[in-house]
Chain A
Amino acid sequence: MPRRSRRPRTTLLILVLAAITIITLDARGGLHVVTSGVRSAAVDAFAPIRSGVNAVVEPIGSFLAGSVHYGAVREQNQKLQAEIDQLKLEQSAAAQQAQSLKQLSALLNLPYLGNLQTVPAEVTDFGTSDFAATIDIDVGRSDGVQLDMPVVGLGGLVGQVVSVSHHTATVRLITDGQSSVGTRYGPDPGSLAILNGTGAGKPLSADLVPSNTPLTNGEVFTTSGLQGALYPPGIPVAGVVATHTGSSASQESVSLRPLADLAHLRYVTVVLWGPSA
């Protein structure tokens, strides 16, 4: 009879216990300082490698795409086509630059931020995990960005900084399932509600809205700014898209759409503000 070594099972048992220990210590805070430090160092160390590889890979991709394109148009007038392409490229680049300028100008003059200090940032990636609604931005500790700082975009609140390295940061979007935002709605001083994320691309849901509250579609919820709140007051968060009162529910079921276009973010603004500020 063939024998199977018991060693792999022992190895698996040890590794599973080690992984569970790491997860538990990380979640309970004991190891979180260490893991977040290691993560931050890894992202910093990897940044030049990433940009170096991208600098090599992107031209190759562009070359291959260009080769395919060249083959398709060779039967036509090559010179004319090249000129058209060049003109289109210039037109597209000019339009893109104008659009960028417009977005950046608007971001620098967001009325609801008042005198709060801000740092503009470019979105470099839409999340490294398929399981969380996050974005990566090109500013970090060296720009004054710290954990938990609010991030806004054109329209309103985008999310909160959840990880910072030297030159980059990760922002949890308000649509992420882990996100909760304290808000006000209705006539001054406004009633309180909590907006919870339900996943990327999905509407927000509201807690603490009493049943039969008269809400109109498009009504805007803004950050509450209560003592100890995660966001400064008065930032527009989301607008009502649907309401529903269940027969026995004590709360109104409210769906809201974020006012910032979270699916097409290009530039955002980090508000240099913390709950203790």
Chain B
Amino acid sequence: MTARDAARLTLVVFGFVVIQETVMLDIRIGGVHPDIMVLLPIVAGIIGGPGRGATIGFGAGLVADLFLPTPYGLSALVGCLLGFGVGLATVALDRTAWWLAPVAALGGSALYEVTYGALGSVLGQPQMLHVALARIVVVVSVTNALLAWPAMKAMTWGMAQSSTEGMPTSDAGVGSAR
């Protein structure tokens, strides 16, 4: 990764943080606010594969944790798992399909929130499972599904020069089944 690539990616993450900490925190749907930081590992996983998804999920999670009262590093842990998982799950799919990003955002966000609450509970924050988890899952998943396309555009720009490590390497090319 060149310095220019890193700068682009940093700008994208910074842009997401700004939107999350300003616009998104002012939006409350049933007492829950959307969380677009979850979109970063998801779209990074789709575009760059499991390795890049995990790395960007980890980095974005560390940044998101700066503004959260929950244990430091928890978003990074769940983010890297999610980025890897989405990258792995979509590696054999046509990544240009219009439905892929919204569907991955819907499922990935739901999985993220449940894992986040469960892991937080395991790590000494039992109250994290005593919240309106179903409402959080619905609000975050649906809003992220709606915002998946612009997020894909932003991350595509941010990862313009990035490799797609972890993708199948054969003459059959990307899209072939294992």
Chain A interfacial positions (CB closer than 8 Å to B): 1-5, 7-9, 11-12, 15-16, 18-23, 26-27, 31, 35, 38-39, 42-43, 46, 49-50, 53-54, 57, 125-134, 162-163, 170, 172, 176-178, 197-202
Contacts and interface: CB of A to CB of B under 8 A. Distances in A.
Interface in B147-178: 165-166, 168-170, 172, 176, 178
23 contacts: A1-B170, A2-B178, A5-B51, A7-B166, A8-B54, A8-B88, A9-B50, A11-B55, A19-B73, A19-B77, A23-B72, A27-B71, A43-B66, A43-B67, A57-B23, A128-B25, A129-B69, A130-B32, A131-B120, A162-B69, A163-B69, A172-B69, A199-B127
A57 B66 contact: no
A176 B35 CA distance: 20
Given A4-B168, A197-B127, A132 B87 contact: no
Given A2-B169, A130-B35, A200 B131 contact: yes
A50 B14 CA distance: 12
A64 B23 CA distance: 15
B170 A39 contact: no
Contacts of B168: 2-4
A8 B89 CA distance: 13
B58 to A, nearest CB: 4
Contacts of B77: 16, 19-20, 23
Interface string B111-151: 00000110010011111101110001000100000000000
B71 A23 contact: yes
Contact of A3 (B32, B71, B170): B170
Contacts of B65: 39
A9 B51 CA distance: 7
Given A132-B127, A176-B127, A177-B126, 4 more contacts: A19-B74, A53-B22, A126-B28, A130-B35
B172 A2 contact: yes
Contacts of B123: 23, 27
A30 to B, nearest CB: 12
Nearest to A43: B67
B76 interface: yes
B68 interface: yes
A54 B25 CA distance: 11
- CB-CB nearest 4 A-B residue pairs: A177-B127, A2-B170, A8-B51, A22-B73
A35 B140 CA distance: 27
Give the residue among B62, B72, B126, B140 with the most A Cβ atoms within 10 A: B72
B42 interface: no
Given A8-B87, A20-B77, A57-B22, A15 B58 contact: yes
A201 B32 CA distance: 13
Contact of A39 (B49, B66, B132): B66
